[in-house]
Amino acid sequence: MVGIGSFGGYVPRYRLNRMIIFGSMGWLNPVIITNARGEKAVANFDEDSVTMAVAAGMDCLRGVDRQSIDAVYFATTTAPYRERQNANIVAGALGTRDEIRSADFAGSLKSGTSALLSALEFVGYNGGKAVVCAADCRLGKMASTQEMVFGDAGAAIMVSDQDVIAEYKGSFSVSHDFVDHLRGANTKYDRMWEERWIRDVGYQQFIPQAVQGLCAKYGLSPSDFDRIIYPCYYGGARKNINKVLQVEQEKVQDDMLATVGDSGSAHPLLMLAAALENARPGEKILLVSYGSGCDALWFEVTDNIKKMQDGRGVSRWLARRADLDNYQKYLVWRGMAPAETGIRGETDKETRWSLVWREHKAILGLWGSKCRKCGTQQYPPQRLCINPDCQALDEMDPVYLADKGGTVFTYTGDMLAASVNPPAIYGNVNFNGGGRTLMDFTDCTVEDLSVGMPVEFSFRIKFYDPKRDITNYFWKAVPAVGEVK
C-alpha cells in the first residue's frame, strides 16, 4: 500500500490585517477593498520559500528516522536559486542522508501536486519514503489584488509504503498553457490577466474538468468524497464549482483565505494537511490543485490516521500568531522599499563556498558530535572530546541537533547592528543534551526572552548578499511554542 505516511504545515507568525493595506494604499486603487476581509500570513524578514518548506518538513518528520528518507522534493514558484538545487538545501536542513534522490518542481502553482505525484510514483516503484515540501512567498505590487490575496506558508507530505494514514487510490491530470498569472524570469512581481477570465475560464472550467475526469476514470461521483480540497480565492467561483460538482458546502475544505491567504504552490498541500488533522478512518479525500491545468488525487484515510493527529499540521501555527501592525515594515522586509541600515549594513559578505562545503553538515543540519566513550555532546562537531576527564580523539558520532531544542543562556538586543528588524537579538543557547553556541533569536522581542527559557530551532536566512544574489542560511532560536503569548 502506497500513500501518505505523515503530514506537516507551517504558517509564519506574523499576520497583516488587510484593512491596514487598504488604509495605506486604498487611495490608489479603491477597488482592493473587495479583498480586504481577514488577514494574510507574512513571512518574517529572515524567511523565504526554502525556510518555510524546512519548517513544514520538520513538522512532518516528527518521530521519523531521517536516515530512512529516500527522496526529498521541493515545490515552489519563488525559489531563491535558479542554478543551485534548492531541494538539496531543504534535504540538508532536514538531516537526511546524502544518498537520496532530490528534485525541484517549479513553473506552476500546481507544482506541489506534481511533486506529490512524482513521490507517489517513486515510492510505488522503489518502496521507502519520500518527502514533498512546498512553500511560496509571492509578491504583488502595492495596491494590487495580489498584494491583498497572497499569503506566505509551507506544507509537507511524506509518502510511504508502510503505516500509511491515507492510501493513494488514483489520479487524473489536465494541462493547459492558460496564462492567468505570469512572472517572467527576471520579474519580481506577479502579473495577472483579467479577473473575469481567470475566474470563469480558469477555475470554473479546469477544476470541474479534472474532478469529472477522475470520477469517470474510476467510476465515482463527486458526492462519493467526504472531503473535497481545491484552491480558489474567488468566493463566487467556489459556489459555482460546488454547484457544478453537485457537492454540499460542508464537504468542501476551508480555503484559509481569511487567515493565511493564497500560498501558491503550497496551498493545496496546506489545505490537505489541515484536513488530515481531523480526518476519520474510511473518509475519501479528493485533492485538486490549480495552475496551468489541474491535478486531481484520490486518497482514502486508514486507521493509522489516529497516530498522526498529535498536533502536527496547521492549527498550531494558526494559533501561534502575532499582529504585524506596520505596513511599512512589511514593505522593507519584502524588499519593496529601500531602507537605511547604516555603514555596518554595507559590509561586503562574500561567501566562501569551499568553507561552506567543509562545514555543510553543521551549517545546514545543525549537526554536532557525541563522544562514544563518555557521551559528551558538543557543537560544532569536533575531533577531540572537550570533556577534560576524557579527551578522546576521533571517537565521535554525528548527532542531529536541529530537532532537540535548547535553553537560553544569555541574550541581548543590539540597536547598532545592521538589521531591518531592530534591535538585532542574539545570545548563547545551550543545546538539550549538551553543547552551546552563539545564535540569533527570531520571532520574538527582547522582552519575550529570559535566561533558561526553552527554545526551538528554526532554519532561517542568515544574510543576503545583494551584490552576488546569494542567500545564506543558518539556524536561529525561537521561543518554544507556548512561551510567547
CATH number at residue 266: 3.40.47.10
Answer whether 334's CB lies under 8 Å from 325's CB: no
Q: Are 297 and 355 within one domain?
A: no
Sign for the CA dihedral angle at 177, 183, 189, 191 comes to negative
**Residue 21 pLDDT greater than 80, yes or no:** yes
Q: Which residues make beta-bridge pairs with 16? A: 40
Number of domains in the chain: 2
Is the predicted pLDDT of residue 485 greater than 60, yes or no? no
Question: What pLDDT is recorded for position 276?
Answer: 98
In angstroms, the Cα distances linking 199 to 173, 195, 449 are 19, 6, 47
Statement to judge: residues 197 and 318 lie in one domain? yes
Query: Does residue 223 form part of some domain?
Result: yes
- Grid coordinates representing 12? 509564519
| Domain assignment of residue 373, yes or no | no
- pLDDT reported for residue 484: 55
135 and 262 fall within a common domain: yes
The answer to whether residue 375 scores a pLDDT higher than 60 is yes
Is 372 a domain residue?
Answer: no
> Is 344's pLDDT higher than 90?
no
pLDDT for res 419: 92
Report if residue 387 sits inside a domain: no
Long-range pairs, 95-99, Cβ under 8 A, ≥24:
95/66, 95/365, 95/367, 95/400, 95/402, 95/403, 96/66, 96/67, 96/69, 96/72, 96/131, 97/66, 97/67, 97/69
Same domain membership, residue 356 and residue 327: no
Give yes or no: residues 317 and 428 share one domain.
Answer: no
Confidence of residue 350 (pLDDT cuts 50, 70, 90): confident
Do residues 250 and 179 share a domain? yes
Q: Which run of H or of E encompasses 364?
A: helix 360-364
d(CA 47, CA 420): 13
Q: Kindly report the CA angle at 256 between 253 and 261, in degrees rounded to 5?
A: 140
Residues 171 and 202 in one domain: yes
Which residue range(s) make up the domain with 138? 3-333
198 belongs to a structural domain: yes
> Do 212 and 355 lie in a common domain?
no
Residue 149 backbone phi and psi in degrees, to 5 = -90, -40
Residues 96 and 237 in one domain: yes
Residue 482's pLDDT is what? 64
Any domain includes 454: yes
Provide φ and ψ at 220, rounded to 5°: -120, 170
CB 295 within 8 A of CB 120: no
Instruction: Record the pTM.
Output: 0.96
Looking at the fold, whether 277 and 409 belong to one and the same domain comes out as no
The answer as to whether 186 is a domain residue is yes
Averaged pLDDT, 200-229 = 96
DSSP 320: S
**Average pLDDT, rounded, for the chain:** 96
Query: How high is the pLDDT of residue 346?
Result: 83
The reply to whether omega before 231 is within 30° of 0 (cis) is no
For residues 16 and 159, state if they share a domain: yes
- Whether residue 282 is found in the same domain as residue 356: no
Closest by CA position to 190, among listed 229, 154, 149: 149
